[in-house]
Each structure stands twice: as structure tokens, then as C-alpha cells.
Amino acid sequence: MNLKPWRERVRDEEQLLEQLNQLASDSATRRAEALRQGVEELGNVAAVARDLGRSWNAIDKALRKDQRKKASTQDASTTE
């Protein structure tokens, strides 16, 4: 069996984890945008939660997490 050296395998897996984390972050951002559109359409978070069969707390948490992420990104880009 020709296995890569362990250091190379660790490096490869770290790169894969980084890519997966970025994909998950991008997906969460798109989901939050869709949830915001749902709130605009249905009027409030509770209505979106009922429509999706989820708790309003889960929907609210996803929206707040995205807001914090956007705020920290804006803060980082304005600081030099």
C-alpha cells in the first residue's frame, strides 16, 4: 500500500476542512437571505417558522447569526 506521509495527509485534510467550512458559511448566508425574503413575504419570523415547520427561535437565531457575521465583516473591512 502506498500511503502518503502522515504530514501530507494532515495537510490535505486541513485544506478539505477549510473548503467545507467555507461552503457551509456560504450556504448559511444564502439560507439567511432566503429566510429574510420569507419574512418580507409572510410578515414575520413566526409565520416563516410555521410555514417551514420549525421553531421561530431557530429562524431568529439563523438571521441573527448572519447579521453578526455581516457586521464583523464590515468592521474588519473598515479597520486598517
Has residue 16 been placed in a domain? Answer: no
Q: How many domains does the chain have?
A: 1
The answer on pLDDT for 76 being more than 80 is no
Q: Domain of 44?
A: 29-80
- The residue with greater pLDDT, 6 or 79, is 6
Domain membership of residue 5 (yes or no) is no
| 19-41 burial code (b ≥16 CB/10 A, e <16) | eeeeeeeeeeeeebeebbebbee
Q: Is 2 inside any structural domain?
A: no
What digits encode the pLDDT tens for the residues 28-40?
999 999 999 999 9
Share of the chain above pLDDT 70, in %: 94
Residue 7 falls inside a structural domain: no
